[in-house]
Structure 1
């Protein structure tokens, strides 16, 4: 945790397990907050949202669009049991 004036930054990681799919992932996170008169007036939380969302997937394939050009899309499938 770092602080300078009214701005606070926090960095770390957490591990979660989705309740029904039983998939566990670890994600880095960061928080930026602005505190005025003892109250948080601004709060920004960042995490690995992709890993979080994928922990709920139990089957199927995702098509990921990373660019305006659909030719650059790619597919993500569930990992095989041997990986």
Structure 2
């Protein structure tokens, strides 16, 4: 945890388990917050949302579009 003035930054990692799919993964996280008069007035939380979403997939294949050009799409399956 770091702070300067009213700005606070926190860095770490945690382990999630999706309840129904029983998939566990560890994700780094970071938090940026602004604290004024002892109250949080701004809060930004960042995590690996791709890994989080993938933990709920139990079957099938995803097609990921990363660019306006569909030729750059790629597929993600259970074994990827």
Q: TM-score range by the shorter chain?
A: over 0.9
Residue of structure 2 in register with 1:11 after alignment: 11
Secondary structure of the equivalent of 1:31?
strand
Secondary structure of the equivalent of 2:29?
strand
> TM-score, length-normalised on structure 1?
0.94
Q: Give the 5 Å matches for 1:1-83.
A: 1-79=1-79
- Distance apart, 1:73 and its partner CA: 0.3
CA distance in 2, matches of 1:23, 1:2: 32
How many corresponding residue pairs? Answer: 80
CA distance in 1, matches of 2:11, 2:54: 22
> Which deviates the most, 71-80 or 27-36?
71-80
Q: What residue ranges of structure 2 are gaps of 5+ in the alignment?
A: none
State the superposition RMSD in angstroms: 0.9
- Distance apart, 1:79 and its partner CA: 1.8
CA distance in 2, matches of 1:39, 1:32: 14
